[in-house]
Amino acid sequence: MSKTLTMLMMDPPYESSNTITALRIVEAALRKGNHVNVFAYEGAVSLTFKEQKKHANAVKGTTLEEEDHPLPKDLVASLVGLAKENNLRLTWTNCGLCVDERGVGNWIEGASRGSPADFIKAVTESDNALVIATT
Amino acid sequence: MPKILSIVDTAYRATLEEQDDTALWFTAACKTAGGNLTVLLTGNAVNYAVKYQNPRSLSFGKVEITHPEKPQDGLKRLIDKGVNVFMIRDDLEQRGIHPDSCIPGIENISRSHLSKFVSQYDLIWHW
């Protein structure tokens, strides 16, 4: 039987291994047939920002294609797709005030705007909750 | 409604530009939304309880940070909302902070009792 995990993420993209760890937890939960709610708080609201762009890496001598730089928005979109393919629920809620502060309101499909009230509601309706804060 | 313990360990995280502590702000918002939350200050965050903190406003060129957060006021707002606030006595002592220099309304617990204290809660959020 499916369970529901609610997670809060706080780190901005490309700053901490917390982000990849959190996304791996999301994927593992989905692959085991569970539903996941993510609340992106503070810098984590930039994870779904649509205007992220891949780049070449002159230091490594790689072209744009060779570098094939991973973009957090693509990782999130892929997880949203994985949930859909398996008839699971992955909600991705960006803290609205955090979005406004950073000007990152142009986000990928699958993300939405919310507040801590949405988080506490999701926590109440979930089997467990995890907060991964910046340090 | 699960009983939630919000442990705040990292202190002064963006308190100048946010004009609040993001973990305490989030806790207050969840309390307003009906959450059953308690706060435990550990590590450097015990300094939030000190009475006479007065961060001055800062200027960068012509732009001023006009309302830098006084963390003790953030704690007072939480207490006024009905959130119970605790702190680790050992962390106060290690930093030379006398309990008399802290705002009222916060209960001290010993680190040796931490596991028993934590076991009262359904969920632990660590900030």
E strands, B56-112, where? 58-60, 63-65, 84-88, 106-109
Closest CA to A135 of A19, A6, A4, A3: A19
CATH number at residue B44: 3.40.1260.10
**Residue-by-residue pLDDT tens, chain A, 135 positions:** 899 999 999 999 999 989 999 999 999 999 999 999 999 999 999 999 999 999 998 888 899 999 999 999 999 999 999 999 999 999 999 999 999 999 999 999 999 999 999 999 999 999 999 999 998
Q: Which helix (H) or strand (E) holds B27?
A: helix B22-32
pLDDT of amino acid A59: 85
pLDDT of amino acid A46: 98
pLDDT of amino acid A6: 98
pLDDT of amino acid A55: 93
- Residue B43, chain A, CB below 8 Å: the answer is no
Closest CA to A102 of A49, A38, A39: A49
Domain tally for chain B? 1
Distance (Å, whole) CA B2 – CA B35: 8
**What residues of chain B lie within 8 A of the CB of A10, using their CB?**
22
For A115, the closest of B13, B29, B34 (CB atoms) is B29
Closest CA to B84 of B44, B113, B120, B43: B120
| pLDDT under 50: residue ranges of chain B | none
Angle at B89 between CA B85 and CA B90, to 5 degrees: 140
pLDDT of amino acid B117: 98
- Residue B16, chain A, CB below 8 Å: the answer is no
Distance from CA of B12 to the nearest CA of A (A): 11
Q: In sequence order, what DSSP letters do the residues of A89-130 get, joined into one string? A: -EEEEEEHHHHHHHT---B-TTEEEE-HHHHHHHHHTSSEEE
The predicted complex's ipTM stands at 0.81
pLDDT of amino acid B126: 96
For B33, the closest of A41, A120, A129 (CB atoms) is A120
Mutation for testing the A interface, residue in B26, B32, B44 having most A CBs under 10 Å? B26
Structural domain harbouring B10: 3-126
Angle at A49 between CA A48 and CA A53, to 5 degrees: 115
- Do A117 and B32 lie within an 8 Å CB cutoff? yes
Distance (Å, whole) CA B31 – CA B37: 6
- Do B1 and A124 lie within an 8 Å CB cutoff? yes
Distance from CA of A82 to the nearest CA of B (A): 27
Distance (Å, whole) CA B56 – CA A48: 35
Distance (Å, whole) CA A112 – CA A107: 8
pLDDT of amino acid B22: 94
Strand bridging mode A128-132 / A111-114: unpaired
- Residue B7, chain A, CB below 8 Å: the answer is no
pTM of the model as a whole:
0.88
Q: Is A65 exposed, middle or buried (0-12, 13-18, 19+ CB in 10 A)?
A: exposed
For B34, the closest of A41, A120, A128 (CB atoms) is A120
**What residues of chain A lie within 8 A of the CB of B21, using their CB?**
none
Distance from CA of A42 to the nearest CA of B (A): 8
Q: Is B9 helix (H, G, I), strand (E, B) or coil?
A: coil
pLDDT of amino acid B65: 87
Please, what's the b/e burial string for B24-63 (b: 16 or more CB within 10 A of its CB; e: otherwise)?
Answer: bbbbbbbbeeebbbbbbbbbebbbbbbeeeeeeeeeeeee
pLDDT of amino acid A8: 98
Distance from CA of B123 to the nearest CA of A (A): 7
